[in-house]
């Protein structure tokens, strides 16, 4: 079976603190986009699992989230799976590429096995593979809390053009969390305002409220994030922000032509630059 794995964006990302088990307590408004990977998933009767991750530097063994998800779904059946990924979602971008692939595998195996497992059960299974997998199973627009596993569906994001641009560097997620833990600034996203804007279908209101607390602790080495944001807003984006722990940056456009021009301009400078739209399942 061929299945799509859609990338995700964080319209907002807030870190509320640490939980007793050492994880960070998050509150995020998350959105899937039409752009993503494509997977081929095939059952095999010998119980073996293989993955072609689509890039030579990605794990091709049990460390791969797609393999973890397949093992979890097929546990106790004696079956295995061959997974092939056409990789398009940039790696180390904050777009949940590995989680999206794992979620796509779960959906594919659910169909191939004829189980008709409901979404909430697939989400619970996906959480055992990774914190972002449940949202990638559900897709659409949602408020995610806790480690990202507590999901509340939200009204669909208004249709718009989205330009995504990733600079040629990654950002250490543990390092960013460490900086957030020790920060003095209290800049936070207006999560309630974002939810209200989604409920009324207010695209300018959504765009004005995109914000990621990790941007507040970027250092001078990561100044290119701000440069890309300026290029997006100068090109006509109603709002722009970094997604996840970066380093991809996105801008929301009401004007398709302005989005196309901005995408072309950024694509001339950055290899990983994409033009897409929101996705609703």
* 8, 68, 87, 166: the active-site residue: 8
Selection from 173, 207, 164, 116 nearest residue 8 by Cα: 164
Under 8 Å CB-to-CB from 232, ≥6 apart: which residues? 163, 165, 240, 249, 250, 251, 262, 266
For 146: left if phi > 0, alpha if psi spans -120 to 50, otherwise beta; the answer is left
Is 116 tagged catalytic?
A: no
* 14, 37, 101, 132: the active-site residue: 132
> CB of 244 within 8 A of CB of 13?
yes
> CB of 156 within 8 A of CB of 141?
yes
Is 216 tagged catalytic?
A: no
Selection from 235, 93, 252, 249 nearest residue 157 by Cα: 252
Active site residues: 8, 132
């Amino acid at each position: 079976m061929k299945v799509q794995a859609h990338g995700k964006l964080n319209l907002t990302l807030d870190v509320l603190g640490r939980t007793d088990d050492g994880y960070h307590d998050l509150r995020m408004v998350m959105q899937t986009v039409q752009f993503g990977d494509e997977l081929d998933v095939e059952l095999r009767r010998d119980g073996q699992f293989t993955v072609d991750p689509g890039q030579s530097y990605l794990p091709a063994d049990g460390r791969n989230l797609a393999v973890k998800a397949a093992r979890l779904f097929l546990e106790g059946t004696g079956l295995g799976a061959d997974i092939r990924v056409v990789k398009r979602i940039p790696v180390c971008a904050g777009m949940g590429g590995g989680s999206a692939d794992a979620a796509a595998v779960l959906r594919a195996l659910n169909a191939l096995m004829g189980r008709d497992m409901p979404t909430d059960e697939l989400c619970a299974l996906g959480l055992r593979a990774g914190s972002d997998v449940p949202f990638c199973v559900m897709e659409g627009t949602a408020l995610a809390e806790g480690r990202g596993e507590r999901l509340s569906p939200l009204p669909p994001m208004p249709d718009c053009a989205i330009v995504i641009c990733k600079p040629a560097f990654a950002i250490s997620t543990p390092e960013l969390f460490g900086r957030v833990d020790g920060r003095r600034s209290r800049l936070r996203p207006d999560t309630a305002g974002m939810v209200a804007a989604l409920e009324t279908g207010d695209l300018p209101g959504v765009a004005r409220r995109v914000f990621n607390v990790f941007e507040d602790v970027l250092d001078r080495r990561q100044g290119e994030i701000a440069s890309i944001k300026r290029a997006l807003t100068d090109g006509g984006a109603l709002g722009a922000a970094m997604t996840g722990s970066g380093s991809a940056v996105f801008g929301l456009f009401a004007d398709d032509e302005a989005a196309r021009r901005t995408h072309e301009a950024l694509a001339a400078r950055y290899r990983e630059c994409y033009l897409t739209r929101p996705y609703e399942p």
